[in-house]
Amino acid sequence: MSKACIIGWPVAHSRSPIIHGYWLRTYAISGSYGRQPVRPGEVGQFLASMPALGLAGCNVTLPHKEAAFAAAERKLPGARAVGAANTLWYEDGVLACDNTDGAGFMSHLAASAPGFKARDCGVASILGAGGAARAIVHAFLSAGVHEVRLFNRTRARADELAAFFGPRVQAYDWSRAMACSVDVGILVNATTLGMQGGGGRLEFDVAALNASCVVADLVYVPLLTPLLAAAKARGLTTVDGLGMLLHQAVPGFEKWFGVRPQVTRELRDLLVADLGRS
């Protein structure tokens, strides 16, 4: 029986067990996926003990993503680009890691906005310069987006990201987000603004965007964020944050349990029902 888990501190809020539990039932796999609280400073020790605990691997949530990346011996390009890992597994006795957020975002984007073609979109605007923004920048550049514009409250963080990724990524002042997004093919909110329970309000008027712009929000509580609601009302194609959460889980399940699972309507409905209870 294969076992996996998610580690974090705290970890009780994680919805990953719902996702992996659904797939274990759907594919009739005799395995388990649980939540494992791990204290800051104890990540390396926990990861080293996984084989002895019978764990094939784990997901990693805050605040352990950088520590997990540092602990892994084999780092896939998605993790290297972000400097943080969310999925770990043992491969020939070696601890390997990846960061599947960017690929998860792109899979959901393809499903939600089939007309969107990264190579044809020209410019992408990203609000935010944290770990999630970094994963999206890497995914966009890998998919062929010509130019990425970054807007972040703390300008220095956007500058650092732009310097890391090179000339196709440009950093701007936060206050210029609207003015510098009139010609973009996609706008992504990768900040915590709009999040239920104190995320703060995102001041962005979607009237500034052109009619073919796709609007994505990584925030998924609430599912319909004020940004997405305004974009929908303007008739723009929208991409919510929940699909990214579902799709980023696919590679880990495949590594640990040997089946590449599908993100289905039924799974999404299960998560939506759970979000409704929060």
Ligand X SMILES: NC(=O)c1ccc[n+]([C@@H]2O[C@H](COP(=O)([O-])OP(=O)(O)OC[C@H]3O[C@@H](n4cnc5c(N)ncnc54)[C@H](OP(=O)(O)O)[C@@H]3O)[C@@H](O)[C@H]2O)c1
Residues that bind ligand X (CB under 6 A): 101, 128-133, 152-154, 157, 190-193, 195, 200, 218-220, 241, 244-245, 248
Least distance from C-beta 194 to ligand X, angstroms? 8
Judged by beta carbon, residue 62 or residue 94, the one nearer ligand X is 62
Least distance from C-beta 217 to ligand X, angstroms? 8
Judged by beta carbon, residue 29 or residue 102, the one nearer ligand X is 102
- Secondary structure of residue 61 in the 3-state scheme: coil
Least distance from C-beta 6 to ligand X, angstroms? 13
Least distance from C-beta 111 to ligand X, angstroms? 14
Q: Is 65 considered catalytic here?
A: yes
Beta bridge partners of 47: none
Judged by beta carbon, residue 71 or residue 218, the one nearer ligand X is 218
* Cβ-based neighbour number of residue 165 at 10 Å: 18
Active-site position among 3, 65, 75, 117 = 65
Judged by beta carbon, residue 90 or residue 178, the one nearer ligand X is 178
List Cβ neighbours of 250 (8 Å cut-off, separation of 6 or more): 100, 104, 107, 260, 261, 263
* Cβ-based neighbour number of residue 264 at 10 Å: 13
Least distance from C-beta 78 to ligand X, angstroms? 13
Least distance from C-beta 63 to ligand X, angstroms? 10
What are the strands, taking DSSP E only, across 93-185? 94-98, 123-127, 147-152, 169-173
Region for residue 84 given its phi and psi (left: phi exceeds 0; alpha: psi -120 to 50; beta: otherwise): beta
DSSP structure class, residue 207 = G
Q: For residues 252 and 56, give the distance between their C-alpha atoms in angstroms, rounded to a whole number.
A: 10
Asked if 132 contacts 115 with a C-beta cutoff of 8 angstroms, the reply is no
Judged by beta carbon, residue 3 or residue 153, the one nearer ligand X is 153
CA dihedral 62, 90, 21, 32 (to 10 degrees): -110
Q: For residues 244 and 262, give the distance between their C-alpha atoms in angstroms, rounded to a whole number.
A: 13
Q: Is 259 exposed, middle or buried (0-12, 13-18, 19+ CB in 10 A)?
A: middle
Judged by beta carbon, residue 80 or residue 153, the one nearer ligand X is 153
Any idea which residues carry the catalytic annotation? 65
